[in-house]
Amino acid sequence: MLLEIAEIEVRPGAEDAFAAAMNEDGLAQLAACKGVVSVRFGRGVENPSKFTFNVVWTSMEAHEAARALDSFTRFRAAFGDMGVGGAMSHYVMDEAISGVSA
C-alpha cells in the first residue's frame, strides 16, 4: 500500500469554491481511479487556504498509471486554476508496522 499526502494551497478568495468543487465531484472522480483504496480530504485550521488529500493507493505504479485516466483528469479539472502551490509526499505502508492500537 502507498499513502499519498498532498497539500494544496488555494488562491485567496477561492477557498469555498475549491471545497465545493471537491465535494460536488472532484473527490468522487479521484476515488473512482483504479488503485485508490481510500480518500480523505481536509481544510487547514491555521491556514484555511490550505487543503490536504490523504489517498491510499494499492501501489505507486497504480498511482502513476491513474494520471492517465479520465477520472483523474476530471479530478484535476475540478479545481482548475484555483491552486497556487503545494507539496506531495508518498509513504510505503508496511503492514508489519502500520497497525497501532490505542
Tell me: the pLDDT tens digits for 6-64? 999 999 999 999 999 999 999 999 999 999 999 999 999 999 999 999 999 999 999 99
User: Are the beta carbons of 57 and 2 closer than 8 angstroms?
Assistant: yes
Residue 52 half-sphere exposure, CB side, CA atoms within 13 Å? 12
- pLDDT for 95 equals 65
Report residue 5 CA to chain centroid gap: 7
Report angle CA 85, 90, 91 to the nearest 5 degrees: 150
- pLDDT for 70 equals 95
13-25 confidence digits (pLDDT tens): 999 999 999 999 9
Write the DSSP symbol of residue 62: H
| d(C-alpha 46, C-alpha 19), whole Å | 16
Q: Which domains does the chain carry?
A: 2-89 (3.30.70.100)
Write the DSSP symbol of residue 72: H
